[in-house]
Structure 1
Amino acid sequence: MRELIAGGIGVISGILLFGFTSIAAAVYSMHLREVGYSGEFGLYLSALWEVGIVPIILSLIFFFLGLRFLFKATDREWRAKYFLVEEEKSASDKEA
């Protein structure tokens, strides 16, 4: 249960951080249009670079760690629900 909650929080926080960073870059790109931006990267990527790459990296880390926790928790529940039932049935069939 603890892994399920941690996974959900990780996924949601990763999505929110990525979304807010993207919104900040979009808002800042309007300012960069007046000031000037790198022609190599374009307007949005220049704004994203100015806002920072660290929030994007942190959001990806949170998202993938959250997915890992979610898959681990659901895998454990799935195994407990289906595989232990099969073992109990096969053990009772052997006794009979």
Structure 2
Amino acid sequence: MMKQLIGGGIAVISGVLLFGFTLVAAAVYTLQMGSGGYYSEYGLYLSALWEVGIVPLVLSIIFFIIGLVLLFKAIDNEWKGKYFLVAEDTKPNDTES
């Protein structure tokens, strides 16, 4: 359970950082493309994002989704253990009569 929580947190943070750095790299690259050489139907920023690469964006989305799944699994297991399985342990004993 703790491994899922730590792994999920790391995956979410790495997905967000990779997504942000990819967008910043595309923004910096637009300065180089400003004089021309970009696709007019996509615009300057989307052309720069295409040149930087779509693979980092896809990887960041995959990391983020995997991280959320792991976090939700860890939280769900913790809640089940804390609130729902406790009721099964508090059954009255037959030897107390």
1 or 2, which has the higher helix percentage? 1
Q: Identify whether the pair has TM-score above 0.5, normalized to the shorter chain.
A: yes
User: Is the partner of 1:41 in helix, strand or coil?
Assistant: coil
Counterpart amino acid of residue 74 in structure 1: I
TM-score by length of 2: 0.91
- Per-residue Cα deviation, 1:7-41 (whole angstroms, up to 9, x for no partner): 00000000000000000000001111113211111
Aligned length: 94
RMSD over equivalenced CA pairs, Å = 1.3
Paired with 1:75 and 1:18, the residues of 2 have a C-alpha distance of: 27
> 2:5 — aligned with what?
4
Superposition deviation, residue 87 in structure 1: 1.7
> 1:31 — aligned with what?
32
Superposition deviation, residue 59 in structure 1: 0.2
Paired with 2:41 and 2:83, the residues of 1 have a C-alpha distance of: 55
Q: Percent identity?
A: 62
Counterpart amino acid of residue 2 in structure 1: K
Paired with 1:78 and 1:40, the residues of 2 have a C-alpha distance of: 50
> 1:72 — aligned with what?
73
Q: Any runs of at least 4 consecutive aligned residues in structure 1 with deviations exceeding 4 A, and if so which?
A: none
